[in-house]
Structure 1
């Protein structure tokens, strides 16, 4: 990205709302992690999906397992989180909501509590170092771990929401969509919502192949969530159902859309068939995101540029998408107002 047209996307102030911490580890940071742990015999090809490569969704989850082997101490987490935050800031992201599942590692003494505390410490250190980005954290529930662990995670998230002066703003539901059923997680999700945590739920990532998947989407939409991750197969054009779309529209639930992730993960066949177009033409709140910028070898500027070139968006259209994303954040209203003032300050310089 070095032409005048490309520079627009770098200078564009951006909001990133769907970024998994461990999936966002860059090549540069991965080199540092690999050099620390040569005994693992991990190569870069095992941690990223490069240009022209594709993996099934199941294979993508195997990549994350490899990354987890490299990030298993407090020291690793602190370095990774700070690097990820700095890289988003360098890409022009002014507001970031990171998400990650708290993990415990008996070999290194890492606990779930210390995991969250270390990510929050990285956010504070970046703030104190003057990094030009506002960062918040979503505690993630991995659906593969079942209902008991989900409830335990929600309780941790509640505690940190109340004790971190607005750094922890919500709960993410993610993990392999083919494992378990959302109904088992409803008690934990209801508790999170009633406590004041915002809900960002991965929803309809896989084609509806069995009735239970459609039922799960309807159940989770009934909460309703505050944002939807991917939502790939919600609408009828992708095998979903109109009643699902009606629910999303009725509750005005924003979608977090990750183009390259869906193409490389083979849930969408090509950029021109991405469901971004469906929701954009509907005028529904849709936020362009990266998902896992390290694993999928992308960044947010590139994702905006891909959306613009694929769907014929003007710079003004792209600017509106970026501004609209501010309203979809889980930040309190006074932060949203401050961000919008920053966007207005940037506008004459970026849209020149």
Structure 2
């Protein structure tokens, strides 16, 4: 872990809405997986980006390829997902939306259906063990896999939305933003939306996506991942900003991820400031807590230190995130109640 957050940030109840399962695997869990598979000769520096290190976006995606080599059976996925959920809970996260692209591994017999079933099994197992966190799952479309696979993924998500006790709530669009174009994925995304799945789309993650962002905002999505280059100061446009604000689309902001992936030059120039000053719904997230050696408490503390937020402002930011979750209103009410009960103890 790069830094250890102060007690206030640890005790702060938090909502995590942008967490990729394979990117959230901690050093400790990686150690367990590596011990099972010594023949792969994978070392820790190949699965995480440490303090002071930066990587190009392309190099970040290479890290995921290494993690996928390690996590390639149902047994691995169950262990990894269970550990990730418990670690978020230990960090004070009360509600978590995990996201992951269903994968097939011919050599281990893993298929997309049992991939999703295994993640859902991990969520249910943690609940049965009394872990203090509510977890939901977003099935992810990897944009690199094209329109046909995207449509298959939507159908899979629809099946699980109906059969998994409300644990599958939406769809994520992610993957290397420099590959492919959103227009090819529009039919799949439109079908998902029409079928009742919530949409969280990675948008304007790199500077060359103006046209695609205009197109995808026309859906519109229910939340935006990153949105790094939406606003005019960084090469976006007022038209994009207007679409986001008019539809009140929350933005999932991942500070350390953007710094280490070099899409933002430094914390003080992070677009959190732009959206926060607008009063627009902004949710602090980790993206990949394992790969980027962080956790949600650290991300809140970094935002507070960088942008001068006092404890009241941080509390308000954390509580406002409840409005942005994809679970039903009844659960939002339960979470608000939890925040109310914890407030006297945390905000001293």
Q: Under TM normalisation by the shorter chain, which class is it?
A: over 0.9
- SS of match in other structure, 1:86: helix
Q: Does 1:247 align with 2:243?
A: yes
Pairwise mapping of residues 158-307 of structure 1 onto structure 2 (< 5 A)?
158-208=158-208, 213-307=209-303
- Unmatched segments (≥5 aa) in structure 2: none
Shift of the alpha carbon at 1:191? 0.3
Q: What's the TM-score once normalised by structure 2's chain length?
A: 0.99
CA distance in 1, matches of 2:59, 2:111: 27
CA distance in 2, matches of 1:102, 1:4: 33
Q: Does 1:335 align with 2:331?
A: yes
Structure-2 change in CA distance of 1:127 and 1:5 (3 Å): closer
Partner of 2:88: 88
Partner of 2:144: 144
CA distance in 2, matches of 1:34, 1:164: 31
User: Could you report, residue by residue, the CA deviation over 1:200-233 in whole angstroms, capped at 9, with x for unpaired residues?
Assistant: 000000013xxxx211000000000000000000
Shift of the alpha carbon at 1:196? 0.3
- Unmatched segments (≥5 aa) in structure 1: none
Shift of the alpha carbon at 1:4? 12
Cα RMSD after superposing both structures: 1.2
User: Could you report, residue by residue, the CA deviation over 1:78-131 in whole angstroms, capped at 9, with x for unpaired residues?
Assistant: 000000000000000000000000000000000000000000000000000000
Partner of 1:126: 126
Partner of 1:321: 317
- SS of match in other structure, 2:6: helix
Check whether the contact 2:9–2:301 (CA below 8 A) recurs between aligned residues.
yes
Runs of 4+ in 1 over 2 A off after TM superposition: none
Shift of the alpha carbon at 1:164? 1.2
CA distance in 2, matches of 1:265, 1:188: 28
Check whether the contact 2:86–2:131 (CA below 8 A) recurs between aligned residues.
yes
CA distance in 1, matches of 2:127, 2:165: 14
User: Could you report, residue by residue, the CA deviation over 1:277-298 in whole angstroms, capped at 9, with x for unpaired residues?
Assistant: 0000000000000000000000
- SS of match in other structure, 1:115: helix
Check whether the contact 2:5–2:298 (CA below 8 A) recurs between aligned residues.
no
- SS of match in other structure, 2:326: coil
Check whether the contact 2:5–2:297 (CA below 8 A) recurs between aligned residues.
no
Structure-2 change in CA distance of 1:184 and 1:19 (3 Å): same
CA distance in 2, matches of 1:248, 1:4: 34
Partner of 2:76: 76
User: Could you report, residue by residue, the CA deviation over 1:290-313 in whole angstroms, capped at 9, with x for unpaired residues?
Assistant: 000000000000000000000000
CA distance in 2, matches of 1:204, 1:56: 16
Shift of the alpha carbon at 1:5? 8.3
CA distance in 1, matches of 2:165, 2:74: 22
CA distance in 2, matches of 1:71, 1:164: 23
